[in-house]
Structure 1
Amino acid sequence: MTKKISIIGSGFAALSAACYLAKSGHNVTIFEKNETIGGRARQFKREGFTFDIGPSWYWMPDVFERFFADFNTTPEAYYSLEKLNPAYSVYFGKDDFITIEDTLEKIYKAFEAEEPGSSKKLVKFIANAQDNYNVAIKDLVYRPGLSPLELVTPVTIKKINQFFGTIKKDVRKEFKNNRLAMILEFPVLFLGAKPGNTPSFYSFMNYADFGIGTFHPKKGMYQVILAMESLAKSLGVIIETEKPIDKIIVSNGKTEAIVSKGMTYPSDIVLSGADYHHTETLLEPQYRQYSESYWEGKTFAPSSLLFYIGFDKKIKNVNHHTLFFDVDFEAHAKDIYDEPKWPDNPLFYANFPSITDDSAAPAGKEAGFFLIPLAPGLEDTEALRATYFDKIMTRFENLTSQDVRKSIIFKESFCVNDFIKDYNSYKGNAYGMANTLLQTAFLRPNLKSKKLSNLYFTGQLTVPGPGVPPALISGKLVADLINKHHKN
């Protein structure tokens, strides 16, 4: 039976859910608070430069293919993908870096050159990671997190130890070279937790990295958002921008309508792809599932300080994706997760899309995107942003042996306050809730409200977790749940 469904937000999860629900015959309207759609995956343009504001890594292309296949189409029908070679490089000191290329064979050689004998260990490690990938990404993550029994399969019973070991223990046991260990620990940072708190099973991220590779959509990640918008509209989805939601109206144990700018929009079902904590504040307290102390006690993925920079020349000695691990990882991780504060010496990441993609910057110029992971909830001031810009630029110039500050045309920053203002993000987090053992699957906030029969949630604070591919999956899971519960 056709339902009138209102979706709050227009990020990857919300757009995914909208497509599936419209395909099932429902009348779907998306309400987006900002001027443009995409949530954290919006785009910023200035003086001929184009930046993806948020996600910049295209991993797990099979998940995107599976999404579009559900609508009898392909990613290629909407955007073109390029596999990056090299995928990325990692700096450990001045002119001292390791480059990760585009095939396992090349990566094995890079490991062997760094530490004789390590390639054999890596072959074994990646084989297990691939096995985990096949179990997780092709099966487990497509389960709605309703019961612990979802995790119990003949395969996972055999892998039970991998839910109680950690990535860090596994990596450090086999790889004594700290540089190689850090490269293997890096992918799980996308899951929002320290390698020492991330279950061994999540090594499937290493297979996503080394085994499948890193891709770039021509014209940037925002092309995926535009593709999903086009698909959604072709299915009949209505998208309303500049429509922040002020309140969710409840009557007789059900959501009845949403309110935006004084206008009331009756709804048979309300689905929020916006921040979970914020969405519950739109309800009267008695209809909220989770208390403030619940959210306070959860491990959140980091926030970020981001800089978008237009350079008037090409930048040397970097790749499209370049990581800077020249400082103590443990000290920075402690400042994010254990004793939250602004880090003394942060690791950082730099992305230069114009190396791959001419559309990202005018000819002869470079678009640079710099990211420092931070604890959510920190004080955020212009003075602090300026201090950290100087810190990373000084290191960047030293490590890559070049002067770039004099070549800056403009720079824009984005940090904790902006995540709160633009996305109503809890404490200004950038990636959602971390995937630790106690925050996996059924232990995450529910897709379906326990208090209101027709209120649902999707996105990075619920199942399956942070990241773009999980967001696409989250949209499918919640749409399936809605269709199951509202057949009549």
Structure 2
Amino acid sequence: MNKHITIIGSGFSALSAACYLASYGNQVTIFEKNKTIGGRARQLKRDGFTFDIGPTWYWMPDVFERFFADFGTHPSAFYELEKLNPAYSVYFNENDYITIEDTLEKIYKTFEKEEAGSSKKLKTFMATAQTNYDVAIKDLVYRPGVSPLELITPVTIKKINQFFSTIKKDVRKEFKNERLAKILEFPVLFLGAKPDNTPSFYSFMNYADFGIGTFHPKGGMFQVILAMKSLAENLGVVIKTENSVDKIIVDKGKATGIISNGTVYHSDIVLSGADYHHTETLMDPIHRQYSERYWAKKVFAPSSLLFYVGFDKKLKNVNHHTLFFDVDFDTHAKAIYDQPHWPKDPLFYASFPSLTDNSSAPEHHEAGIFLIPLAPGLNDTQELRNIYFDKIITRFEHLTSQDVKKNIIFKESFCVNDFVKDYNSYKGNAYGMANTLLQTAFLRPKLKSKKVDHLYFTGQLTVPGPGVPPSLISGKLVAELIKKHHAN
């Protein structure tokens, strides 16, 4: 191949695709609307503190290794990875929490201590989760979602029932202890859907959690973006920041370039790693595959209200990743998926990277990232942000038995309006389209446009789905598809 390829966006999927396409001999240029690359995985620096704006969990290290191995290298050539112990803790009440450690054996003991006999059930559950991981992450997710036949293999035929049961049903059938059930249902939230709407087969997320563990790249997730940037530029990729794309040029049914900042850039192929819905609005309606009605009917993963907080002291009774499940999950889930509204009592998550990584905060200080999952499309005001910050910080103080409000140096927030402004995100969603049964593989928006030749898509609204590892894979899938269709 020797094509001029334009890529819109510079998130994980776009950078991944850029690396593969450049390695095939193409001339690749990335156009990024923001000042810095990384898409949702950008970085915030303030007063000696460093925060990942977006993803904070590093799961499935094997997927990252597979990506870098495709270019003859390894993550360790670019960044230092530390396995977290504990991986995370989950609060249920004041000073009442369960800690998930770094090996399955330790986790079995934790379960057994919580509920006699549960470790045996967990071993059975994890055995299935591991085989599902081997099938899904090592094979199925590396298929381009072109045909339903991709999902039919001798192994998946044996597991067919797992596509028609749900995570919640499977977990609740075996685990009567509410706290353990919640912990087992938690990983599928990364897929953007409720446990009672997520096929059992997705228990592979539990293996990613308990079986492989949680890691932290020193310097934060942005180090992965910088590693991919370095790899891309070494392969000849040109990256243009502060270059918003205003239009995709379509001539006689074929994408022939873009207009960015008023300048026309011609190319043989256009690939968008930006929001799928937004990308289609860059063309006349006749060229769009999916109607507004189509998008409105889809199940979207949540948006988020995020706070980046600098504390002038070290915090206690928390881990690098800490979940707060002291309120009813089902009530909060209804506020996200069933009747979208601001939840009265939200669950929330907090990350304190400075507990692991000294580069995250000045000495004797703490960097805190707080996240509340929300329905996309909600009314987002500064007043609401302030109300919800006070809600969760008050609960945080109570649950962890410490005063922190007076130790806040600053806080910055990021919510629905920012997802729309910075990423052109549909309804301000944070994680893309949920991986429900009817939104899996070939049932997701396509990598290749059905209406415009030489136009392709990658990222969390297409195959294989939301999350950082799937985004890396999405970039590979679309690059291979482009290579297949444009070999000459």
- Secondary structure of the structure 1 residue equivalent to 2:245: coil
What residue is the counterpart of 1:481 in the other structure?
A: 481
- TM norm structure 2: 1.00
What residue is the counterpart of 1:150 in the other structure?
A: 150
What residue is the counterpart of 2:195 in the other structure?
A: 195
What residue is the counterpart of 2:69 in the other structure?
A: 69
- Secondary structure of the structure 2 residue equivalent to 1:354: helix
Query: Which residue identity does 1:453 align to in structure 2?
Result: D
| CA deviations over 1:104-142 (Å, ceiling 9, x no partner) | 000000000000000000000000000000000000000
CA–CA distance in 1 between the matches of 2:117 and 2:72? Answer: 46
CA–CA distance in 1 between the matches of 2:240 and 2:166? Answer: 44
The Cα of 1:252 is off from its aligned counterpart by 1.0
- TM norm structure 1: 1.00
CA–CA distance in 1 between the matches of 2:222 and 2:251? Answer: 38
Unmatched 5+ stretches in structure 1? none
| CA deviations over 1:222-251 (Å, ceiling 9, x no partner) | 000000000000000000000000001110
- Secondary structure of the structure 1 residue equivalent to 2:25: coil
Unmatched 5+ stretches in structure 2? none
What residue is the counterpart of 2:294 in the other structure?
A: 294
What residue is the counterpart of 2:125 in the other structure?
A: 125
What residue is the counterpart of 1:283 in the other structure?
A: 283
What residue is the counterpart of 1:385 in the other structure?
A: 385
Query: Which residue identity does 1:389 align to in structure 2?
Result: F
CA–CA distance in 2 between the matches of 1:262 and 1:280? Answer: 19
Write out the 4+ residue segments of structure 1 that deviate beyond 3 Å after TM superposition: none
| CA deviations over 1:407-437 (Å, ceiling 9, x no partner) | 0000000000000000000000000000000
CA–CA distance in 1 between the matches of 2:390 and 2:46? Answer: 22
Does residue 1:371 correspond to 2:371, yes or no? yes
CA–CA distance in 2 between the matches of 1:463 and 1:74? Answer: 25
CA–CA distance in 1 between the matches of 2:332 and 2:383? Answer: 20
| CA deviations over 1:344-375 (Å, ceiling 9, x no partner) | 00000000000000000000000000000000
- Secondary structure of the structure 2 residue equivalent to 1:462: coil
Superposition pairs of residues 218-367 of structure 1, within 5 angstroms: 218-367=218-367
What residue is the counterpart of 2:110 in the other structure?
A: 110
CA–CA distance in 1 between the matches of 2:310 and 2:116? Answer: 41
| CA deviations over 1:368-393 (Å, ceiling 9, x no partner) | 00000000000000010011001001
Does residue 1:167 correspond to 2:170, yes or no? no
- Secondary structure of the structure 1 residue equivalent to 2:54: coil
The Cα of 1:453 is off from its aligned counterpart by 1.3
Query: Which residue identity does 1:343 align to in structure 2?
Result: P
How many residues get paired?
488
CA–CA distance in 1 between the matches of 2:74 and 2:291? Answer: 42
CA–CA distance in 1 between the matches of 2:335 and 2:253? Answer: 43
- Secondary structure of the structure 1 residue equivalent to 2:372: strand
CA–CA distance in 1 between the matches of 2:453 and 2:143? Answer: 20
- Secondary structure of the structure 1 residue equivalent to 2:343: coil
What residue is the counterpart of 1:404 in the other structure?
A: 404
- Secondary structure of the structure 2 residue equivalent to 1:410: strand
CA–CA distance in 2 between the matches of 1:473 and 1:332? Answer: 31
| CA deviations over 1:58-110 (Å, ceiling 9, x no partner) | 00000000000000000000001000000000000000000000000000000
The Cα of 1:16 is off from its aligned counterpart by 0.1
Query: Which residue identity does 1:193 align to in structure 2?
Result: A
The Cα of 1:460 is off from its aligned counterpart by 0.1
The Cα of 1:269 is off from its aligned counterpart by 0.1
CA–CA distance in 1 between the matches of 2:381 and 2:432? Answer: 22
- Secondary structure of the structure 2 residue equivalent to 1:82: strand
The Cα of 1:481 is off from its aligned counterpart by 0.1
Does residue 1:54 correspond to 2:25, yes or no? no
CA–CA distance in 2 between the matches of 1:65 and 1:450? Answer: 33
What residue is the counterpart of 1:464 in the other structure?
A: 464
Query: Which residue identity does 1:94 align to in structure 2?
Result: E
Query: Which residue identity does 1:214 align to in structure 2?
Result: T
CA–CA distance in 2 between the matches of 1:62 and 1:214? Answer: 12
Superposition pairs of residues 405-484 of structure 1, within 5 angstroms: 405-484=405-484
What residue is the counterpart of 2:99 in the other structure?
A: 99
| CA deviations over 1:249-296 (Å, ceiling 9, x no partner) | 110110111001110000100000000000000001000000000000
What residue is the counterpart of 1:21 in the other structure?
A: 21
The Cα of 1:487 is off from its aligned counterpart by 1.1
RMSD over aligned Cα atoms: 0.3
What residue is the counterpart of 1:31 in the other structure?
A: 31
CA–CA distance in 2 between the matches of 1:394 and 1:451? Answer: 52
The Cα of 1:315 is off from its aligned counterpart by 0.6
| CA deviations over 1:449-471 (Å, ceiling 9, x no partner) | 00111000000000000000000
Query: Which residue identity does 1:306 align to in structure 2?
Result: L
CA–CA distance in 2 between the matches of 1:485 and 1:292? Answer: 29
- Secondary structure of the structure 2 residue equivalent to 1:246: strand
- Secondary structure of the structure 2 residue equivalent to 1:58: coil
Query: Which residue identity does 1:79 align to in structure 2?
Result: Y
CA–CA distance in 1 between the matches of 2:236 and 2:260? Answer: 22
Query: Which residue identity does 2:182 align to in structure 1?
Result: M
CA–CA distance in 2 between the matches of 1:219 and 1:381? Answer: 31
What residue is the counterpart of 1:178 in the other structure?
A: 178
CA–CA distance in 1 between the matches of 2:337 and 2:257? Answer: 38
What residue is the counterpart of 1:2 in the other structure?
A: 2
